[in-house]
Amino acid sequence: MAGYDSDRSSNNNKFVHAVTEKNVVLTVERIRERSPILLDMVKKGRIGLVGAMYDVHTGKVTFM
C-alpha cells in the first residue's frame, strides 16, 4: 500500500487499519461482482449492501 514503505507489518497500526479498510471495500466489491442476485436486489432497492468495521477494543462499528 502506498505511503507505508517503512513498516508494513502488524506493528504499524496505521498500516493495519489501512489494510483492513481496503479489505472491506474489496469484499463489498466482490460480493457485488459475484452475486448477480444480490446485485439485482440492490439495484431494485430491496436491500442495501454496506461494508463496516468493528473495533474489538471499543465495540464501535464504523460503516463505510
Give domain limits for the chain.
13-63
Sign of the Cα torsion 33, 40, 51, 2 reads positive
Q: What's the pLDDT score for residue 11?
A: 84
Q: What is the pTM of this model?
A: 0.77
Higher pLDDT, 2 or 29: 29
pLDDT single digits (tens) 3-57: 666 788 888 888 989 999 999 999 999 999 999 999 999 999 999 999 999 999 9
> Per-residue confidence at 2, pLDDT binned at 50, 70, 90?
low
